[in-house]
Amino acid sequence: MGLQQIFLSYCHRDDEPYGPQNRRWVEEFEKALRESIGQRIGPGRVELWRDKRRLAGNEMFDDEIERQLDRSAIFVTVLSQHYLSSAYCRKEFQTFGRNHLAKGDLRVDHLSRIVKVYRRAIDRADLSRFVDLPELIPEVDKNVGFELFYKDDSGIDRDVLLDPGKAGLYWQRADDIAHAIKRMLDAAPRAAPAAGQAADAAQATAVYLARTSSDMKERREALQRELEDRGYRVLPEQQLPEDAEGYTASVRAALQEASLSVHLIGARYGSIPDGADKSGVVLQAELALAHGTKALRSILWSPPELTLDSLGEERQHEFVEQLEQAEFERQRAEFVRSSLEQLKSLVVERLRAPLAPLPASRPVQDAERSVGNSIYLLCDPVDRADAKPLQAALTQLGFVVSRPSLEGTTEELIEENKANLLGCDVVVVVWGQSREAWVRSKLREAQQAPGWGRARPYRGKFIAVGPPDSPAKLDFDAPPDAIVLRGVASTEQFQALLQ
């Protein structure tokens, strides 16, 4: 493959000296993009071209621009209000789009050759009016862009260049753009596989990473980078429609290609598509959980600091509470509270272990009704010391008791937990100082064990509730197959119930 050219399209007013240090925005962006491309792609494959002449407002669209557009494989456009007001910029945009629509190659590896970089927030309708070509508008509208601004707590978009604390975000965006460019350059033409083969290949490597509310955006982008760096295809690759019907149809189509969906739940409810009565965040989660045409595993995640008490918006409080109390179908879905790094490890682990088909239901034979004596005593580290008397008492009664390890990598701890849930006869969740959400997450994991390969039912599931007292403990609704025992040392109750 020969040298590929990238055309950097911008309005010259966006490169005028700017801010307290008189920095030139486009010049700074070009530098960051060049360095990121060098890191991602290496030398000798790409050259970046932009018109550095200081043009007057009435300058004509000239032959040099035509030649450079013809030579260019990728069009990076810096979008701003200045850009949308420029007839010259519109001409560049339209010419590149027309050229590649005529060739039939405007999209490469599911990505558009037109890379939208937002210096400021731009309304989708304003951008469509700017494009002004019926055949090009749909391609541009559904194309996801890269935002080089951030929104403050008031919802006002701010320039990352003016905030020294956002330098990392600026370079991350440049690296994201370089990664997308590399994907397009690496996508060599190849023979089209049969329809069934294509679907299987996409399903094996595709992850639906749900669009989030604004407070989860940076975490979503970090997870997307991790997945793309590992070679996974991240969906949705296009901008979701603004109307409820189109939004729902697009989400369903993307879920059809994915083997895993991941939903990051934050403190904000999120925007609501036109004509819908729920936010896009909620709609995506519901569509994934209701997706019954094929095996699709879902992870719904929140950071540890996001508790029900911290949620001020009533609709979001109800949504998160529903997730905490939901009894998901076996291993099909899980609600997790963890660090972002732990989420990354969990997502990769789920992708490496394809979803097993549910075993055919059949009557449980008497011989299969476990009479084993192994107990998995699940306790949060804060309750570990208080659970020791219970462990000792159960051991004295003849039970073999195991507890979660305190040390190990995230993947090692996840694997050990799964192995314990698959192999034990009785599950006991200790609830002392830990939160209700943690207790429910452990019960859900036990419920998912049949999907991981557990063939026999548990001999019993128990929630051993100890001090301190709390309203959550008094009002706790246990799953139908679990028994609540008050007092973590009630070993006689265990023995009687397991007879």
Looking up residue 375, the CATH number of its domain turns out to be 3.40.50.2300
Residue 143 has φ and ψ, to the nearest 5°, of -75, 125
pLDDT tens-place string over residues 88-103: 899 999 999 999 999 9
Closest CA to 296 of 326, 241, 334: 334
Q: Give pLDDT, residue 54.
A: 54
Segment 49-58 long-range contacts (CB within 8 Å, at least 24 positions apart): 49/5, 49/6, 49/7, 49/8, 50/7, 50/8, 50/9, 50/10, 50/26, 54/12, 55/12, 55/88
Task: Assess contact for 348 and 231: CB atoms under 8 A.
Answer: no
Look at residues 160, 190, 220 and tell me which one is the last residue of a structural domain: 190
Indicate whether 61 belongs to any domain.
yes
Q: Give pLDDT, residue 473.
A: 87
* 8-state DSSP, 274: B
313 HSE (CA, 13 A, CB side): 11
Which residues are registered as beta bridge partners of 301? Answer: 264, 336
What distances in angstroms separate CA 272 from CA 225, 230, 302, one per listed residue?
26, 32, 20
Q: What tokens does 459 get? A: 């001999």
Q: Give pLDDT, residue 355.
A: 57
Q: Which domain holds residue 63?
A: 1-190
Q: What tokens does 114 get? A: 């037109």
186 and 200 part of one domain: no
121 and 104 part of one domain: yes
Q: CB atoms < 10 A from the CB of 175, how many?
A: 18
Closest CA to 85 of 117, 130, 50, 51: 130
Angle between helices 25-41 and 167-186 (to 10 degrees): 50
Closest CA to 351 of 192, 235, 204: 204
Tell me how far apart the alpha carbons of residues 126 and 114 are, in angstroms, rounded to a whole number: 17
Indicate whether 438 belongs to any domain.
yes
Tell me how far apart the alpha carbons of residues 149 and 140 are, in angstroms, rounded to a whole number: 20
Tell me how far apart the alpha carbons of residues 188 and 75 are, in angstroms, rounded to a whole number: 18
Indicate whether 361 belongs to any domain.
no
Tell me how far apart the alpha carbons of residues 449 and 83 are, in angstroms, rounded to a whole number: 55
Residue 246 has φ and ψ, to the nearest 5°, of -65, -40
Query: Would you give the distance in Å from CA 240 to the centre of its chain?
Result: 15
Which residue stretches of the chain have pLDDT < 70?
Answer: 1, 54-61, 188-204, 292-295, 329-331, 354-372, 487-499
Q: Give pLDDT, residue 79.
A: 95
168 and 127 part of one domain: yes
Look at residues 190, 218, 253 and tell me which one is the last residue of a structural domain: 190
389 contacts: CB under 8 Å, gap ≥ 6 = 488, 489
Sheet of 72-79, strands arranged across: 46-49, 4-9, 72-79, 114-118, 146-147
Output the domain CATH number for residue 318: 3.40.50
Indicate whether 305 belongs to any domain.
yes
Q: Give pLDDT, residue 330.
A: 53
Task: Assess contact for 108 and 184: CB atoms under 8 A.
Answer: yes
Tell me how far apart the alpha carbons of residues 274 and 277 are, in angstroms, rounded to a whole number: 9
Q: Give pLDDT, residue 497.
A: 64
Number of separate domains in the chain: 3
Tell me how far apart the alpha carbons of residues 159 and 147 are, in angstroms, rounded to a whole number: 10
251 and 152 part of one domain: no
Task: Assess contact for 464 and 431: CB atoms under 8 A.
Answer: yes
371 and 398 part of one domain: yes
263 and 325 part of one domain: yes
204 and 264 part of one domain: yes
Output the domain CATH number for residue 110: 3.40.50.10140
Closest CA to 319 of 265, 373, 392: 265
28 and 106 part of one domain: yes
Angle (CA) 178-259-455 rounded to 5° is 145
Q: Give pLDDT, residue 84.
A: 95
Q: What tokens does 350 get? A: 């789920």
Tell me how far apart the alpha carbons of residues 27 and 272 are, in angstroms, rounded to a whole number: 37
Indicate whether 315 belongs to any domain.
yes
Q: Give pLDDT, residue 161.
A: 79
Tell me how far apart the alpha carbons of residues 44 and 54 are, in angstroms, rounded to a whole number: 29
10 and 88 part of one domain: yes
Indicate whether 310 belongs to any domain.
yes
Indicate whether 360 belongs to any domain.
no
Task: Assess contact for 452 and 418: CB atoms under 8 A.
Answer: yes
Which position has the token pair 């859900």?
444
Q: Give pLDDT, residue 61.
A: 54
184 HSE (CA, 13 A, CB side): 25
350 and 382 part of one domain: no
Tell me how far apart the alpha carbons of residues 319 and 296 are, in angstroms, rounded to a whole number: 21
Indicate whether 321 belongs to any domain.
yes
pLDDT tens-place string over residues 275-287: 999 999 999 999 9
153 and 4 part of one domain: yes
Q: What tokens does 59 get? A: 């300058």
348 and 388 part of one domain: no
Look at residues 314, 335, 355 and tell me which one is the last residue of a structural domain: 355
